[in-house]
Copies of this chain bind each other. A is one copy, B any other.
Amino acid sequence: MAMKYSRQRQLIYNFLMTRKDHPTADVVYQNVRQEFPNISLGTVYRNLTLLADRGEIQRLQVGDGVDHFDGDTSRHCHFVCTDCGNVTDLQMDCLDDMFTMAQRSFDGRIEKQMTCFYGVCGECLDKHTVKS
């Protein structure tokens, strides 16, 4: 049951911490592979799942059919650009309030919240304006 150290897990974790976007398992794999060519995709998945279960990282499902992983476990929400697919952080002050409000009107126990906005990011808006 106790977790033992592994170089692979360390690399996966470290890589995730360097990224502000929210890479998929495959992106993690492709990157960690540069430094550790023999690592297998299964190992990446297993460790991402393990780290997420332990609360050290966060698994995101933003609706593009692929899981994303976030090294930042603080309460924050995300924005998904429906044009380029990028997932970025979006800071909002009212999340704590929202949490307590939801809890007040609900008879179960709320443990986690996940908010995601969808639309077109600034860069993609610019891109389209130039085109037309």
Interface size class of A (residues with CB under 8 A): 35 or more
Stretch in contact with the other chain, from A3-11, A15-23, A31-39, A97-105: A97-105
Decide yes or no: A116 and B118 within 8 Å by CB, A79-B108, A90-B102 being known contacts.
no
Copies of this protein chain in the complex = 2
* Residue among B61, B91, B110 making CB contact with A105, cutoff 8 Å: B91
Q: Which of A92-132 contact B (CB under 8 A)?
A: 92-94, 97-98, 101-102, 105-122, 124-125
* Residue among B61, B97, B111 making CB contact with A120, cutoff 8 Å: B111
A98:B108 contact, CB within 8 angstroms: no
B-contact 0/1 string along A58-71, CB 8 Å cutoff: 01011100000000
B114:A119 contact, CB within 8 angstroms: no
For A77, list chain B residues within 8 Å (CB): 102
**Residue A81 interfacial (CB < 8 Å):** yes
Q: Which residues of A contact B (CB under 8 A)?
A: 59, 61-63, 77, 79, 81-82, 90-94, 97-98, 101-102, 105-122, 124-125
